[in-house]
Amino acid sequence: MLVIIKKDYEEISFEGAKLVASLIRKKPDCVLGFATGSTPLGLYKHLIRMHKDEGLDFSKVISFNLDEYVGLPPSHNQSYHFFMWENLFKHININPSNIHIPMGMAEDIESFCEWYEAKIVSYGGIDLQILGIGSNGHIAFNEPGSSLGSRTRIKTLKEKTRNDNARFFKNFEEVPKFAITMGVGTIMEAKRLILLANGKSKAEAIKATVEGPIMAKYPATIVQLHQYATVIVDKEAAGLLEGDYST
């Protein structure tokens, strides 16, 4: 696991974007795993700028998103479909037919999840997966206690996560209780992982992820076993780390 500590949010966003852009330039038809939440927004802004100013070409890129709330249609302004279109897809030249996001309105969720896993495999797997991390150590919506070998499935959201995300909804009650999420095992099969975190609220989760024992209580700790995982954090999120990560 490579740990990169940067000054602030802007620097981690740029660092992450450079890794993504360099893969797209090397392999124009790469398979990217996208994440939602506030953390990757800065990285997406850089990708949009690189597309507009430097001609970064997404026309052959295939994308898979990590997760989606159950029960929110793509048109809902808090759905992850909406988030991805607003914050990235509508600003770049990605082919809409190459975009995959879990369907929160799927009638048969179990079959949908199987289809999603098979679809990832049909493209040869995810080349690079972008990850945020929850303050409780979740990755995607794999909440504490998730099986470390889990696949795409429906998960019940923890109260902590619903509270963290309530800021985006009118009130806590409106935050969905369930989500479809790639599993920890699905994420670990990506050829490369980039986990981003910023701010003090993530310091404990980052400490566990980088230096703690691997355990389902903090699903993100499994990233320690990935051969090509890069953790990019700002000084605040790195605040509890004891090791020396200077490069």
Give the catalytic positions in this structure. Answer: 67, 136, 138, 143
Q: CA dist 197 to 80, 176, 230, Å?
A: 19, 24, 11
**DSSP string for residues in 113-154:** HHHHHHHHHHTTS-SEEEE---TTS-BTTB-TT--TT--SEE
Closest CB 40 distance from ligand PGA, rounded Å: 7
CB 93 to ligand PGA: min, Å: 25
| CB atoms closer than 10 angstroms to residue 59 | 11
Pairing, β 2-6 against β 62-65: unpaired
Residue 36 vs 63, nearer CB to ligand PGA: 36
Q: What's phi and psi for 156, nearest 5 deg? A: -85, 130
Structure tokens at 163: 């509270």
The smaller minimum CB distance to ligand PGA, of residues 38 and 87, is found at 38
CB of 120 to ligand PGA, least distance (A): 19
Give the nearest distance from C-beta 39 to ligand PGA in angstroms.
Answer: 3
Q: Which is nearer to ligand PGA, 124 or 238 (CB)?
A: 238
Q: Are 197 and 205 in contact (CB under 8 A)?
A: yes
Establish if 132 lies at the interface with ligand PGA (CB under 6 A): yes
CB of 161 to ligand PGA, least distance (A): 7
Verify binding: residue 38, ligand PGA, rule CB under 6 A.
yes
Interface with ligand PGA includes 16 (CB under 6 A)? no
AA letter at 164: D
The contacts of residue 90 (CB under 8 Å, 6+ apart) are none
Residues in 153-182 that interact with ligand PGA by CB under 6 A: none
* Binding flag, residue 133, ligand PGA (CB under 6 A): yes
Binding residues for ligand PGA, total number by CB under 6 A? 6
Our finding on whether 39 is near ligand PGA (CB under 6 A) is: yes
Is position 62 an interface residue for ligand PGA (rule: CB under 6 A)? no
Question: Which of 33, 42, 104, 134 is close enough to bind ligand PGA by CB under 6 A?
Answer: 134
**Which residue's beta carbon is nearest to the bound ligand PGA?**
37
* Angle value at C-alpha 218, between 145 and 184, nearest 5 degrees: 70
**Whether 82 contacts 138, CB under 8 Å:** no
Of positions 16, 33, 37, 183, contacts ligand PGA by CB under 6 A: 37
Q: How far apart are CA 56 and CA 18, in angstroms?
A: 11
- The token pair at 100 is 């995959």
Q: Which residues bind ligand PGA (CB under 6 A)?
A: 37-39, 132-134
